[in-house]
């Protein structure tokens, strides 16, 4: 267990360090500044030792003011320099780590566009989003808070250690002893507190989950009379949260005085041991006591800071793991070497023995072949899960075939860039896609050359112009949740947009599935206009809408089981005829 954790720290940190290469110079400078500032912090007390001794001995014979001022000024100078270095260290750390964060965000956003759609089948959007925001933020913050502190604390710690032993070994041993005692003390408290804090956190999570589950499904809970059970459960979690809550709060609050005691304990130890030694060694030892008073603090502070920095680096490593996992995910094949471009296509489409499965274990399309002439309207029908949408995904190259090929005007789609393939098709899907913006902006999407007149013309053609005119701002109405468009109206807008895109071929996948039969007739008319003269693939549940297709492909479990025109298929009396008749009976 421990070993695995170590690996999970080293690997991502290695990657992160490499990733930060472009900031190495700056980071090194920041670290150097921090180390120099730490050295100044050690020189300070040593000089104070001289200063104190001057005062003490000066009490009898008078102080050498010139030498005294010199040392005092020197002290002021190094403390000031230390502060300035600290200032620049912080500045460099902040800008450097944010530069790394910026680069992460840029790379992630570029990466999203290079990932195959299949990646998103296996990863939730929320999770990806959290990598872009939370994890990257965590890296930036924890890195900023840890690196500088880690190095300057280590310098300070070692420096003080050496300085103490050089100045006075017995006093050095006293400081170390007192610190160890103090730390063991606080460690006991810390682990206790940690336990309650984690417990508290877990209980809080449970409560959140409980509340979310029951309020999100509020009416369901009421419908099934689940309030009682829900309430009892809530009480139970709430009680647990109370117990862990007060314990965590109490121990957290007690920490401060306990830690205070640890610090003071060190002072007392230095005073007592220093006093005994001073009795033997005389008045000159008072300066040493002063110095060690300061050393006590300088020695114990970096220890807790190093511990803190290391635990921050743990979160850096955890966040890096997640971010690099994403950045290292397998990408779509590079297509920059593809020079072939298809623009004005006739619209012949040929599927040649296409085999495909979303994953290796399950083949969905098992050798699909079809030959579609330019301008034909092809309907793909079949039960849910037959693979209709999958065919569209392959045609659009959202996914790559396992074997076989798809040709447009005789050119394999794999010889074209994905982008080129996408530009050949207009798509209308069951889910309408409109963004927050005016109707005009929505219709002009991706196509800035479209004029206002063309927009109105397209809307008239699909029959949505009249409705838009009734809106108070007409075509400038901003589409938000408060503008209530029916799903039919939304779909008409989508169809108008597709019409304006003016792509040579069309794909309509269940475009009318979420509307009532009367709206369906409207949509059908609109779609017929978009399909005019274009090779079109239409997938529809209600077979009455595809009767006039030039070719109907009946798909079942990824195979074409029948094909022909509506009349031919009805005459054949096979699968299609059954399907059609069953729907006809129901309506």
Ligand X SMILES: Nc1ncnc2c1ncn2[C@@H]1O[C@H](COP(=O)(O)OP(=O)(O)O)[C@@H](O)[C@H]1O
Binding site for Mg ion (CB under 5 A): 389
Kindly state the smallest distance separating residue 350's Cβ from Mg ion, in Å: 22
Q: Establish if 385 lies at the interface with ligand X (CB under 6 A).
A: yes
Kindly state the smallest distance separating residue 583's Cβ from ligand X, in Å: 16
| Cα radius of gyration rounded to whole Å, the chain | 37
384, interface contact from Mg ion, ligand X, none, CB < 5-8 Å by kind: ligand X
Interface region with ligand X, contact rule CB under 6 A, candidates 169-177, 317-325, 381-389, 491-499: 381-389
If the CB atoms of residues 91 and 433 are measured against ligand X, the closer one turns out to be 433
Q: Establish if 397 lies at the interface with ligand X (CB under 6 A).
A: no
**562: Cα separation from own chain's centroid:** 46
51, interface contact from ligand X, Mg ion, none, CB < 5-8 Å by kind: none
Q: Find the Cα–Cα–Cα–Cα dihedral 92, 95, 100, 103, rounded to 10°.
A: -150
Q: Which residue is nearest to Mg ion (CB)?
A: 389
Kindly state the smallest distance separating residue 95's Cβ from Mg ion, in Å: 50
Q: Establish if 496 lies at the interface with ligand X (CB under 6 A).
A: no
Interface region with ligand X, contact rule CB under 6 A, candidates 379-387, 424-432, 540-548, 572-580: 379-387
225, interface contact from Mg ion, ligand X, none, CB < 5-8 Å by kind: none
Query: How many CB atoms are closer than 10 A to CB 34?
Result: 27
Contacts of 513 by beta carbon, 8 Å cutoff, 6+ apart = 430, 540, 541
Phi, psi of 436 (to 5 degrees): -75, 110
If the CB atoms of residues 149 and 389 are measured against Mg ion, the closer one turns out to be 389
If the CB atoms of residues 398 and 467 are measured against Mg ion, the closer one turns out to be 398
Kindly state the smallest distance separating residue 390's Cβ from Mg ion, in Å: 8
Q: Establish if 266 lies at the interface with ligand X (CB under 6 A).
A: no
Answer for the pair 19, 107: CB distance below 8 angstroms, yes or no. no
- Nearest CA among 125, 540, 148, 553 for reference residue 312: 148
The secondary element (H helix, E strand) that includes residue 366 is strand 365-372
Contacts of 532 by beta carbon, 8 Å cutoff, 6+ apart = none
316, interface contact from ligand X, Mg ion, none, CB < 5-8 Å by kind: none
Q: Establish if 364 lies at the interface with ligand X (CB under 6 A).
A: yes
Q: Which of 386, 406, 464, 538 binds ligand X (CB under 6 A)?
A: 386
If the CB atoms of residues 16 and 553 are measured against Mg ion, the closer one turns out to be 553
If the CB atoms of residues 168 and 520 are measured against Mg ion, the closer one turns out to be 520
Q: Establish if 121 lies at the interface with ligand X (CB under 6 A).
A: yes
CA distance 562 to 382: 10
Kindly state the smallest distance separating residue 556's Cβ from ligand X, in Å: 10
Kindly state the smallest distance separating residue 246's Cβ from ligand X, in Å: 49
Q: Establish if 390 lies at the interface with ligand X (CB under 6 A).
A: yes
For 234-249, the DSSP string reads HHHHHHHHHHHHHHHH
Instruction: Dig out the tokens for 99 from the structure.
Output: 């530069």
- Nearest CA among 109, 133, 93 for reference residue 319: 133
The secondary element (H helix, E strand) that includes residue 298 is helix 286-327
Instruction: Dig out the tokens for 451 from the structure.
Output: 């004029």
Kindly state the smallest distance separating residue 462's Cβ from ligand X, in Å: 25
CA distance 414 to 395: 10
If the CB atoms of residues 116 and 474 are measured against ligand X, the closer one turns out to be 116
Contacts of 121 by beta carbon, 8 Å cutoff, 6+ apart = 358
- Nearest CA among 495, 296, 304, 507 for reference residue 395: 507
Q: Which of 182, 387, 488, 504 binds ligand X (CB under 6 A)?
A: 387
- List Cα–Cα distances, 502 to 69, 423, 445, 468, 575, in angstroms: 86, 10, 12, 22, 35
- Nearest CA among 486, 477, 438, 439 for reference residue 458: 439
Q: Which of 142, 152, 244, 389 binds ligand X (CB under 6 A)?
A: 389
SS3 115: coil
If the CB atoms of residues 164 and 508 are measured against Mg ion, the closer one turns out to be 508
If the CB atoms of residues 78 and 354 are measured against ligand X, the closer one turns out to be 354
CA distance 437 to 478: 5
If the CB atoms of residues 270 and 380 are measured against ligand X, the closer one turns out to be 380
Query: How many CB atoms are closer than 10 A to CB 21?
Result: 10
DSSP structure class, residue 164:
H
Q: Establish if 384 lies at the interface with ligand X (CB under 6 A).
A: yes
Q: Establish if 388 lies at the interface with ligand X (CB under 6 A).
A: yes
Query: How many CB atoms are closer than 10 A to CB 170?
Result: 11
Interface region with ligand X, contact rule CB under 6 A, candidates 97-105, 185-193, 386-394, 449-457: 386-394
What residues does 352 pair with on adjacent strands?
A: 405
If the CB atoms of residues 234 and 358 are measured against ligand X, the closer one turns out to be 358
Q: Which of 358, 398, 467, 575 binds ligand X (CB under 6 A)?
A: 358
If the CB atoms of residues 54 and 553 are measured against Mg ion, the closer one turns out to be 553
Q: Establish if 398 lies at the interface with ligand X (CB under 6 A).
A: no
Q: Total residues at the site for ligand X (CB under 6 A)?
A: 11
12, interface contact from ligand X, Mg ion, none, CB < 5-8 Å by kind: none
Residues that bind ligand X (CB under 6 A): 121, 358, 364, 382, 384-390
């Amino acid at each position: 267990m421990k070993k695995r954790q170590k690996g999970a720290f080293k690997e991502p940190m290695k990657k992160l360090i490499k990733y930060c290469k472009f900031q190495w110079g700056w980071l090194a400078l920041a670290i150097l500044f921090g180390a120099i500032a730490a050295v100044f912090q050690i020189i300070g007390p040593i000089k104070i030792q001289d200063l104190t001794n001057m005062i003490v001995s000066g009490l009898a014979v008078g102080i050498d003011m010139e030498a005294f001022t010199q040392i005092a000024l020197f002290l002021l100078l190094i403390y000031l320099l230390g502060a300035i270095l600290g200032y620049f260290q912080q500045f460099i750390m902040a800008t450097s780590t944010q530069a790394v964060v910026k680069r992460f965000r840029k790379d992630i956003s570029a990466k999203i566009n290079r990932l195959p759609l299949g990646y998103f089948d296996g990863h939730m959007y929320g999770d990806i989003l959290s990598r872009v925001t939370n994890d990257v933020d965590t890296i930036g913050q924890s890195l900023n808070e840890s690196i500088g502190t880690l190095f300057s604390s280590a310098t300070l710690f070692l420096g003080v250690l050496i300085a103490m032993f050089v100045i006075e070994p017995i006093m050095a041993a006293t400081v170390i002893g007192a610190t160890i005692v103090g730390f063991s003390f606080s460690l006991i408290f810390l682990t206790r507190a940690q336990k309650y804090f984690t417990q508290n956190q877990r209980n809080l999570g449970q409560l959140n989950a409980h509340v979310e589950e029951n309020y999100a499904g509020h009416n369901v809970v009421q419908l099934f009379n689940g309030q009682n059970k829900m309430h009892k459960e809530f009480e139970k979690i709430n009680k647990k949260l109370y117990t862990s809550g007060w314990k965590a709060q109490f121990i957290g609050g007690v920490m401060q005085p306990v830690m205070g005691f640890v610090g003071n304990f060190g002072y007392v130890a230095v005073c007592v041991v220093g006093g005994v030694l001073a009795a033997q060694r005389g008045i000159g030892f008072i300066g040493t006591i002063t110095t060690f008073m300061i050393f006590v603090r300088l020695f114990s502070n970096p220890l807790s800071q190093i511990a803190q920095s290391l635990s921050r680096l743990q979160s850096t490593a955890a966040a890096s793991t997640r971010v690099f996992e994403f950045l290292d995910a397998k990408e779509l094949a590079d297509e920059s070497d593809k020079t072939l471009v298809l623009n004005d296509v006739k619209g012949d489409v040929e599927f040649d023995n296409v085999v495909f499965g979303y994953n290796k274990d399950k083949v969905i399309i098992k050798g699909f072949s079809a030959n579609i002439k330019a301008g034909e309207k092809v309907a793909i029908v079949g039960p849910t899960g037959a693979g209709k949408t999958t065919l569209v995904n392959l045609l659009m190259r959202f996914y790559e075939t396992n074997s076989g090929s798809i040709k447009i005007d005789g050119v394999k789609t794999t010889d074209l860039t994905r982008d080129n393939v996408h530009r050949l098709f207009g798509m209308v899907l069951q889910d309408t896609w409109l963004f927050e913006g005016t109707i005009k902006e929505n219709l002009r999407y991706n196509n800035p050359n479209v004029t206002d007149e063309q927009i109105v013309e397209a809307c008239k053609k699909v029959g949505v112009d009249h409705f838009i005119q009734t809106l108070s701002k007409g075509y400038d109405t901003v589409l938000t949740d408060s503008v209530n468009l029916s799903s039919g109206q939304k779909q008409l807008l989508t169809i108008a947009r597709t019409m304006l895109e003016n792509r040579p071929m069309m794909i309509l996948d269940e475009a009318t599935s979420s509307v009532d039969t009367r709206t369906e007739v409207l949509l059908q008319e609109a779609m017929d206009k978009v399909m005019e003269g274009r090779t079109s693939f239409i997938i529809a549940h209600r077979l009455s809408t595809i009767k006039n297709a030039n070719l109907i492909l009946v798909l079942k479990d990824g195979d074409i089981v029948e094909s022909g025109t509506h009349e031919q298929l009805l005459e054949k009396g096979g699968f299609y005829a059954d399907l059609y008749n069953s729907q006809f009976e129901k309506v």
